[in-house]
Each structure stands twice: as structure tokens, then as C-alpha cells.
Amino acid sequence: MKLVLPDYAELHCISNFTFLRGASHPEELVTQAAALDYQAVTISDECSFAGVVRAHMAAKACNIKLIIGSEFSLSENIRLLLLATDKKAYSQISSLISKARLRSPKGKYDISLKDFQREPAHYLTIWLVDDTLADEQKTNQNIANQLKSVFQKSLWMGINLSRKSHQQQRYMQCYAIAKQYQIPMTACGNVHMHMAGRKPLQDVVTAIRLNTNIQKLGNKLQVNAELYLHSKKQLASLYPPDLLAETLQIAARCQFTLDSLNYCYPDEIVPPNTTATKFLRELTEDGARKRWPDHVPETVTTLIEKELKLIHEMEYEQYFLTVYDIVQFARNQKILCQGRGSAANSAVCYCLFITEVDPARSQLLFERFISKERDEPPDIDVDFEHERREEVMQYIYRKYGRERAALAATVITYKPRSAVRDVGKALGLDQALVEKLAKSLSWWKKPQQLDELLNKAQVKQRSISAQLFLQLVDEILRFPRHLSQHVGGFIICREPISTLVPLENAAMENRTVIQWDKTDLESLGLMKIDVLALGMLSAIRKSLGYISNFEKNRIGGFRLDDIPPEDKATYDMLCKADTIGVFQIESRAQMSMLPRLRPRTFYDLVIQIAIIRPGPIQGGMVHPFLRRRQGLESITYANTRLESVLGRTLGVPIFQEQVIQLAMVAAGFSGGEADQLRRAMASWGHNGHLDLFRDKLVNGMLDRGYSIDFADRLFSQLRGFGAYGFPESHSASFALLAYASSWIKCNHPGAFYCGLLNSQPMGFYAPSQLVQDAQRHGVEILPVCINHSQWDHHLTTTHTLQLGFRLLKGMHRKSAEKIVTARNSGIFTSMSNFIQRTHINRHEQNCLVRSDAFQCFNSHRYQSQWQISAVEESRPLFNIENDTVLDDHILLAAPKETEEIQWDYSYTGLTLRRHPMTLLRENPLLRSCTRATDLATIDHGRIVHVAGLVTCRQRPGTATGVLFITLEDETGYCNTIVWKNQQQHYNQEIINGRILSIKGKLQRTDNISGLDPQQQTPVVHIVAGFIKDISHLIPLETSSHDFH
């Protein structure tokens, strides 16, 4: 006779979002429950809803009912499981989680029975008795009595029979209490993993959580591997039928689904007596008139109408108005901001002054931003000045209150290095060995090598096989580790957020985050606003301020809008790759592309920014584009449809959306498929979804007569674009800032460098390189001085920059301000006068002395240090009634020039004296060296000898192991290429060297054929053949931008 299997709903599963307890992803639990033909499955992470959205999406995909719940350990040592029956119950549980989490530090929670008594419960409560049942029957009766009085008829007793010792006796104990207090009993799996095979990983995460190793866990390990989703047959043998049947009764009462969450925008942004639709139209039309004061172009009016119609249909008005409100605040506060990303495709955003990409000047795809077919909420990213973003965030909190505005979370997951470290530690491997394994992952694909490493280690580690280690590392990869705060993704609601999603404390003080991340919000169609920080906006705003100071006649000061478009001198500068400090196009790779691409228009700049990305580089699109641009290759298209997609980039796909359009045009992808492809591209690197499209794409293109070569190139572009490609709108937004910063550099170099230096740390270059570049552009730099400097650097004339105290290592802003305040009543006349009037601490006095800030008293830094050290810190005033106390007539020898330079670098990171390389030129070792500026005059293929301070060591992922080293001398920079075999040979010199001497073959690319040689800026590289570390000649504390 065939056995009739019972139906079952699992009411108690914790996923890996109960960090370091659960050993399966929520999706794995849901999928497995569906495979086992359960009627429903619950995700009930401990005081968390962090995994429920993923589970919800998986449940929809495999068509199983998902119950949402949460498990709590109460301070009274009672474990409860709450299940959401309806929206009200869900909100109640969410609020309880928030309450418990917000009163505790990050990652912890605190809740007691009285928290459940505040309002009548809509949720169902299950008392989890398996581990917490006390030995004393009286205590259990007490608990049962209390719980019954709080939860009354919505209370169950959850029984877990996982083959532990004396299970029968425990069951009988539970049965007696349940009967006495009339609490119905139900089966509860206490599921920690979707399959029993995850037990090793479950033990490993326990060891990580308890900060020990598995060998030492003893009784803290799960005694067996029973906490998994059992088959119905197994369940039938484990539980009495009534307990299984009760799960179905409970599941039937839980009708809540995340789809029923209806997110409401805040409504205070719409003024009374109007509607959001009307208000948005008014603002847009008003903005359009401001953007085009003479006449709004016809094309733009059509675009606006089309967009407003779609926005109204999708009911996105409040979202636009919310972003508008935030941007308005920033503008009123004179905080520079600019929208980017797909929002730059919208004419409405341009009219609302959210973005700056002129729709009349570009071909933007509004569908890339909002699409009815895609039915996804729009995503507007707005960059604010990095130093003032906090003001914007505080405004949001003020306006909507902390209950209605919160930051999205970022789920920090295990990456290969952290996985190796934690698993290694949990398995009890030696710490030094674990570090070694984590540092170089070359063994990853070679288990044999790992075996050797483990065998070479201590005896105790021999028992851990390489295979086991690899398996565990592989399993734990992508496991969530903890929640962190998103860089700036805000969610704002009409109702308190905690009723929608739980809130918890972030590590940063006074910051709260919701328990969902960006993907979760997208999945549920909730809108978020990215309030991001961008250093270049701070720099530009400051530079504009300095320009305004010197242009007193201009009313309202010099604004970003005042920068004239398409300035010839600016493009001339860009063609010469003179872009140190310029936004986005200052890297070595960008600088070597500029003289080849020779941007002459804004759109060239848009391409320049997008082309030096792994996508186009890996797809081999850079050289074809350059050849076509230089007229060395004809621009042809297989058909007119391709021309429409690729026409603006000379037939070469450069932007992300072009690749998507190509998939549709050339490979026959439908709109829906193209959209799936776009999603897969965005998540490439996280999963292998993209590879699923390969055959379809390649075959589709072959069927339509394209070459296999073209198809393969397109696919590798897709891969590159996934994580690193730029859409056109994004590139256009960045190009605006690149152009603005270039224009300022070209026309107001003093203001440019001052703004940039005052916004550090940011960008690619250290202050030392920026200061040298400023000097090369005719800006006079004055050293830090106690009688002239302020905290920030400032301009004394348009071309004279006085360095500020912010440059000094170890100096604090408050002390600098004390100095400036004291100086307001007259300059300092002597060191004792300075000490008497400022009262700054010894450490900062030393900072000033060592950075030579007292040179105005004609005292060298050694003498100043001698004098200032005579003051006893504990009683400074007692000691310096007059200068004689400081001056005991001892004269110390003045520092030599090399010593001065060393101190300059040590305490300010730069020197205004002679460049160290100028001093070294006299050394016989460097007599044959060529200066960086002279390299341009040397023929291709010649052997040259160069030397300089190492400012950058880079091994880009796109360059197959090639290392680029940039050397700085007194005339400029020299780029060297080190091939793999040379890297091995000169490993020590490359890693340890601060000053290198390199001999090698000069590679020269004269870019545009037919162009006047005078206008050419050749791209020069030295291919290193011999490298010598000469750091010992002048020991300097220089900084280098390494291995990014």
C-alpha cells in the first residue's frame, strides 16, 4: 500500500541573514521547500527581515507560499517566533524588530516580554521550547502562564524533534504544559540549512561567530545535522500527525505577502490646493523657460510632454518632486550638486535643475531612465559636494523625521580573501598560513598547490584536506556577513518606515539603516534617492568662489553656468594631456589617450570618458575607434540599422546602451530579452547569468550575417560593461564636470589648484604632484607660515597660492583657527610671543616647527625646535616671560638642503625647495639620465635612462599583468612599462623603491598623421629593461598611488 505523505508548512527557518547562524541563502531554503512539495515555508531570521525580499522573489519564481516571520530571544530567556498574518501583523513585527535593534549597538538587539504587551497582537506567536525549556517544571509553568496571558489565543508551542538526547522525555514535559495551559502544539523545524550537507559550513559559521575554531567548539557545535528541510516521509516518521497538521492551520492564517506593501511617497512636497501632477508640470515649464530664456526648442517641448505623460501614468510625480526639493535645498545653501546616471536622460530632470545634460544637445534615451515595459522605479543619483553632503542628509532627516527617512543598507558579503581568512581561522589553521593563503589566491584553481601549502604547515593542519577547505571557502562566498550603510541611498516614506521595513543602528553614530539593500528595494519597486558625495564638486565650488573673489564686478559671483562652452584653449590643453587634477581624465591611461583622441567638442569628451573603461578596452574597441577618428580606417556599417545605433561613435560601440541596442538590432533580441540582458550585465561578476545569453547572442548575429569575430567582440564587451561600462548619460554628466574643471585649470590655474588642494584627499594625485603642476602653470606657491597661513590654502593674488595649515601632518583645524584668531590682533613677533598667544599643545607646536612654519623669524627648523622644546608643556607661561628663556645662546647648525627636503616631505608631504632629483643629477649614477621633458624629442626605439620618485605603480586588470610605474623628476612625469618577466626579476626594487633608476627602450606614438608636428603631443613610454632602487641616496617619505 502506498504511504500517504502528510502535507506540511515549515514555520521556522533561519537563513544566512541571521548572520553566522544560518547556513543557507533564503533563496536556497525557499527553492528546496518547493522541491519537497511543502505547502508553505517561512523565513524567520532572528530579529531581522533582511532576507525576506530575496526569499519573496524566489518564492514567486518557484510558486510556493512564503510566510514572513522573525525569531526573538527575550531577555527572560524565552524564545519566540512571530508570524505575519496580514499587513498590520507585518508592520507590528517590523516595529518590534526596529525597537529591539535601535536600543542596542549595531548587530545586537534587546527585547523583553513587556515589549509585546503594548498593543494587541495581530501576528501569531510560537513559543520555541526546544532548548529553552527549563529543568524546573515550575519555571516552565510560570513562562506558559505569562505567555498565555499576553498572547492568549494566538499562542502556540513549537516542538522541534531533531533527534537530540532524551527527546521523548522533553516532549512529554512539553505536552503536559501545553495541556495544562491549553496551548496548541505545532511542529517547528528550527531549520538552519536547506540540506544536511551544509552541516560543515554551519559548524564553521558557528566557530566564526564565537571567534574560535571547530576543534574547540565542543558542546557548542550542533550535535547532529538534523536542522535542515526534511522530506515529507522523514517528517512523518519524526512528528506526530497532529503536529504536522497544525502547521497547515497556522500557514492558512498567514496571508501576508510583500506584494501587498504599498509604498506611499511623502505628500508634504506638494503645496496645498494643487496636485502633484500640476505642480510638477508648473515646475518643469518654469524650469524650461529658465533653461531656454529665448525659446524652448520644439524637440525639447515634445520630449517634456512625452516624459510628463509617462511620469503621470506611472505615478512618479512625488518622487521627482522629492528629489527636486532636496536639490533646491542644496542650491539655496550654495551646495554644488548634479544628477547623474540614467536620470541624465530626462528632459524633466534637466528642467528641474536636477541634471545638467542639455537634452537639446544630446541624444538621450528617456526609456533608459523610465520604461513602462520594465515597470521599475526610476533611480536618480545626485552628487553633492563631498564636504557638505552631510548638510543635505541632515536636511532630509529634519524634513521627514528619522521615522520616515532612512538610509538603505549594503549587505557586506564574503569575498575570496575574507572567506579564506575566516574559514582558515575556523578550521584552526595557523594565522600566518591563513594570511599567506589570503594574500595570494594563486592556489585557488590549483588544489594541489594548496595541498602542498597545508602539508608544509604544522602537523595539526594535515588533517584538513585542501578539498574540504576549498569546498567551505566556496560555499561561504557571497554569504552575507553583516549590514553596512549604503553610500547615500535614502528611502523616504509617508508612514513611519519601521512599519514597512525594520530599522537598525549603523556603526556610525546617529545613523540608522533599513534592513534592505538596493536590490531588495528595486525588487519591491520601492524608490530610493541616492545622495552621493563627489570630491570634484567641492573643488569646483571652491574654485568658483576664488574666481568670484577676483572678479568683483560680476554680480552674483562666478557660477558653473558662466563657464563658456566649447572653449578652444581648454581643448588645446586637453589635447596635450595637460590634465593633472582634472575630473575623470587625469589618470595615466586617460592621459595617454587624450593626445590620440584629441577632443575638440563636448561630445568628444563624453566618448573620451567612456572609452577608457574595461568594457571597451576588453572588447578591443579602442583602436578601431582611434583609427576611424584619425581617418586611417573607413567608417562602414553592415546595414542602416547598425548605423542608427553606432553612427555617433563612428561605428564602434562604446556606451552600455549601444551594446544593448546592438543585441536587439543585430542578434534579434526582443525588448524583454534585452532588458534581461541588461540586468544580467549589471550583476555580472556576482553570478553567471550573462553566460546564459552567449549562445543566443552569437547565434543570433551569425544568423543575421555578422562575422563570428564581431559577435565574440560584442560578447566580451558585454562582460566588461557589466561592472565597469558607462552608459552615455552617465558619461555625459561626468564630461560636464571634466569640462568645467579643465576650463578652470586652463583659465584660472590659481583658483583651480587652490580649490583642488582644499578638497583633499580626492583624485589621483597627491598634493606634492598638484603643487608641482601648479608651479609649472605659473602659480607661485608660498610655504606654510604661522604669520600668513590659514587652515585652508588661499590665494593672495590670482597666481599666488599661500599654503595652509591643513597640509601639515598632525595639525588640527581647531588649533589652526586658534592661531588665525590670535593673529587677528597682530602678527606674531617671536616664538615666545606665538606660544603665549596661542596655547596650542606641544605635539602641534612640533608639527609647526618641523614643517618650517616659523621661518618668518629667520630661525631654521633645528633652532626653532631647540627653542620650543625649552618650554615645559605643563607650565608654558611660567617659562616664557621673556625670550631669553627660549634662547640660551646655543646656536645649532642649520640643516643641509637634503635634510630640509627630507623634513619637508616628512611633515608636509611636499617640498617647495629644489626637486630631490635636481640634487641627485650630480651623482655619477645618474649622469646619463634623461629628463622627463626631454623624452619627447628622442626617437622611437632608442635606449634611454630615466630616474625619479615613484608616484604610481599600477597593474590594471585589462593589461594582462603589465605593470606601469610613473616616475617624477623636476621636469614632469615619465611612464614606464614593466613586463611580467622583468617584474619577477626586479620584484624587490619595484616593491621597496621610492626612487628608481630605469633603463629601457623608448616607445613613441606620434598620433595623428598629417597633423602639424608642432601640434603633436607624442605619447612616450619606456619599456623597462633594467631597474635599480636608488632610494638610499635621499631617504624620503614620499607617497605613491599603488596597485589600484
Partner 1 sequence: MMWWLCIRFPSLMLDSLSLRESTEATAVIERQVVLQANTTAIEQGIQPGHSMATALSLYPELHAVERQTKREKELLEHVAVWAYRFSPQVSIDTELSVIFLEIRGSLKLFRGFNRLFSYLSQGIKKRNLQFYCGLSHNPVASYLISYSDKEPGYYRQSPTKLDNNKIQQQLKSSPVTLLPCSKNVKKNLKSMGLNHISAVFLLPSTSLGKRFGRDFFELIAYLKNEKKEHRPLFFPPEYFHSSCYFTHGLNNKQQLDPYITQLLTELKNHLRLRQLINRQLNWQLNYIDGGSESMLLDTSLHVFQQQSLFDITLLKLEQLKLRANIESLSLSCKRFEKSENHNDNLFQQQDNTFLTGGDSKNEQYSIVMDKLLSRLQSQHCIQLSAHNDLLPEKAWRATQYTDVNTSDPLDRNATPPRPLWLLSKPAVIQQHQQQLYWQGYLQLLQGPERIDNQWWQQRHARDYYIALHSNGSIYWIFKDQIKRQWFVHGLFS
The 10 Å Cβ neighbour count of residue 356 is 20
Q: Which is nearer to partner 1, 456 or 623 (CB)?
A: 456
Q: Which of 113, 150, 221, 856: binder of partner 1 (CB under 8 A)?
A: 221
Q: How many beta carbons lie within 10 A of that of residue 1014, not counting itself?
A: 5
Residue with smaller CB distance to partner 1, 555 or 893: 893
Give the list of residues 6+ apart from residue 125 with CB closer than 8 angstroms, or none: 80, 81, 82, 83, 116, 147, 151, 154, 155, 156
Please give the residues from 766 up to 825 whose contact with partner 1 meets the rule CB under 8 A: none
Q: Which is nearer to partner 1, 213 or 548 (CB)?
A: 213
The C-alpha cell that represents 42 in the structure block: 517561512
Contact stretch for partner 1 (CB under 8 A) within 160-168, 302-310, 639-647, 674-682? 160-168
Which one of 213-221, 262-270, 478-486, 998-1006 is the stretch in contact with partner 1 (CB under 8 A)? 213-221
Q: Which range in 98-106, 390-398, 438-446, 667-675 contacts partner 1 by CB under 8 A?
A: 438-446
Q: What are phi and psi of 239, to 5 degrees?
A: -115, 150
Please give the Cα distance from 462 to 452 (Å, whole number).
10
991 is a contact residue toward partner 1 (CB under 8 A):
yes
Q: Which is nearer to partner 1, 37 or 1042 (CB)?
A: 1042
Collapse the DSSP code of 976 into the 3-class scheme (helix H, G, I; strand E, B; otherwise coil) and give the result.
strand
Judged by CB under 8 A, the chain residues 479 through 538 that form the site for partner 1 are: none
634 touches partner 1 by CB under 8 A? no
3-state secondary structure of 413: strand
Q: What cell was used for 125?
A: 506567536
Phi-psi region of 37 (alpha: psi -120 to 50; beta: other; left: phi over 0): left
Contact (CB, 8 A) for 334 and 541: yes
**3-class DSSP state of 67:** strand
**230 binds partner 1, rule: CB under 8 A:** no
164 lies in the binding site for partner 1 (CB under 8 A): yes
Scanning residues 193 to 212, which ones bind partner 1 (CB under 8 A)?
A: 199-200, 203
Report the residue number, 203 or 517, with the smaller CB distance to partner 1: 203
446 versus 554: smaller Cβ distance to partner 1: 446
Q: How far is the CB of 166 from partner 1 (least distance, A)?
A: 6
CB of 436 to partner 1, least distance (A): 6
Measured distance CA(73)–CA(1002) in Å, rounded: 69
Q: Which residues are CB-contacts of 617 (< 8 A; sequence separation ≥ 6)?
A: 720, 958
The angle subtended at Cα 570 by Cα 568 and Cα 575, nearest 5°, is 95
Q: How many residues bind partner 1 (CB under 8 A)?
A: 55
Contacts of 447 by beta carbon, 8 Å cutoff, 6+ apart: 466, 467, 470
Q: Are strands 943-954 and 380-385 parallel, antiparallel or unpaired?
A: unpaired
Residue span 395-434 as binding mask against partner 1, x where in contact by CB under 8 A, dash where not: --------------------------------x---xx--
| Residue choice 223, 632, 692, 959 for contact with partner 1 (CB under 8 A) | 223
Q: How far apart are CA 576 and CA 593, in angstroms?
A: 10
Shortest reach from residue 950's CB to partner 1, in Å: 14
Shortest CA distance to 71 belongs to which of 159, 185, 190?
Answer: 190
453-472 residues near partner 1, rule: CB under 8 A: 463-464, 468
Alpha helices, H only, 880-1010: 883-886, 897-908, 916-920, 980-985, 987-992
Within positions 89 to 148, which residues make up the interface with partner 1, using CB under 8 A?
A: 135
Contact partners, residue 21, CB within 8 Å, separation at least 6 = 14, 46, 192, 205, 206, 209
Residue 843 C-alpha from the chain's centroid: 35
Q: Does 668 bind partner 1 (CB under 8 A)?
A: no
Residues 960-989 that bind partner 1 (CB under 8 A): 987-988
Q: Tell me how far, at minimum, the Cβ of 431 lies from partner 1, in Å.
A: 7
When asked if residue 440 is in the footprint of partner 1 (CB under 8 A), the reply is: yes
Is 735 or 786 the residue whose CB approaches partner 1 more closely?
786
Cα 700 to Cα 420: distance, rounded to the nearest angstrom: 41
Whole-number CA gyration radius for the chain: 33
Q: Min. distance of Cβ 141 from partner 1 in angstroms? A: 19
Rounded Cα distance between 761 and 386, Å, is 11
- Least distance from C-beta 224 to partner 1, angstroms? 4
Is residue 219 part of the contact set for partner 1 (CB under 8 A)?
A: yes
- Residue 1032 CB coordination number (10 Å): 8
In the bound state with partner 1, the residue whose beta carbon lies nearer, of 318 and 845, is 845
Picking from 431, 423, 504, the residue whose alpha carbon sits closest to that of residue 201 is 423
- Of the pair 252, 892, the CB lying nearest partner 1 is at 892
587: three-class secondary structure by DSSP: coil
**501 closest CA partner among 187, 132, 87, 123:** 87
| Beta carbon of residue 9, minimum distance to partner 1 (angstroms, whole number) | 24
The answer to whether 734 and 584 have CB atoms below 8 angstroms apart is yes
Task: Determine which residue in the list 137, 142, 145, 224 makes contact with partner 1, applying CB under 8 A.
Answer: 224
The overall longest dimension of the chain from CA atoms, in Å, is 112
Piece of 143-151, 289-297, 402-410, 890-898 that binds partner 1 (CB under 8 A): 890-898
- The cell numbers describing 427, all together, are 578550521
Burial of 494 (0-12, 13-18, 19+ CB in 10 A): middle
Residues near 570 by beta carbon (within 8 Å), at least 6 away in sequence: 739, 742, 743, 746, 747
937 binds partner 1 (CB under 8 A): no
Q: Cβ closer to partner 1: 62 or 991? A: 991
Query: Residues 436, 628, 704, 776: which binds partner 1 (CB under 8 A)?
Result: 436
Q: Which of 47, 74, 208, 225 binds partner 1 (CB under 8 A)?
A: 225
CA 580 to chain centroid, in Å, comes to 24
Task: Give 331 or 1044: the residue with its C-beta nearer to partner 1.
Answer: 1044
Binding to partner 1 by CB under 8 A, coded x per residue (else -) over 894-923, reads xx---x---x--------------------
CB of 319 to partner 1, least distance (A): 45
Binding to partner 1, residues 821-880 (CB under 8 A): 846, 849-850, 861-862, 865-866, 869-870, 872
- Sequence-ordered list of residues with C-beta below 8 angstroms from that of 780, at least 6 positions apart, any chain: 799, 800, 801
Which candidate, 176, 183, 167, 282, places its Cα nearest to that of 223? 167
Give the chain's end-to-end CA distance (angstroms, integer).
68
Nearer to partner 1, 612 or 849 (CB): 849
Task: Return the number of the residue (118 or 843) whose C-beta is nearest partner 1.
Answer: 843
**CA-to-CA distance for 623 and 613, rounded, in angstroms?**
13
Choose between 167 and 798: whose C-beta lies nearer to partner 1.
Answer: 167
Decide if residue 943 touches partner 1 (CB under 8 A). Answer: no
Distance of closest approach, residue 891 Cβ to partner 1, in angstroms: 11
Q: Are strands 794-797 and 995-1005 parallel, antiparallel or unpaired?
A: unpaired
Q: How far is the CB of 848 from partner 1 (least distance, A)?
A: 12
Query: Which of 153, 179, 220, 361 is the binder for partner 1 (CB under 8 A)?
Result: 220
Residue number, 77 or 182, with CB nearest to partner 1:
77
**Which is closer to partner 1, CB of 221 or CB of 912?**
221
Closer of 247 and 863 to partner 1 (Cβ): 863
| Sites of contact with partner 1 (CB under 8 A) | 135, 162-168, 199-200, 203, 214-216, 218-221, 223-226, 427, 431-432, 435-436, 439-440, 442, 463-464, 468, 846, 849-850, 861-862, 865-866, 869-870, 872, 888, 890, 892-895, 899, 903, 987-988, 991-992
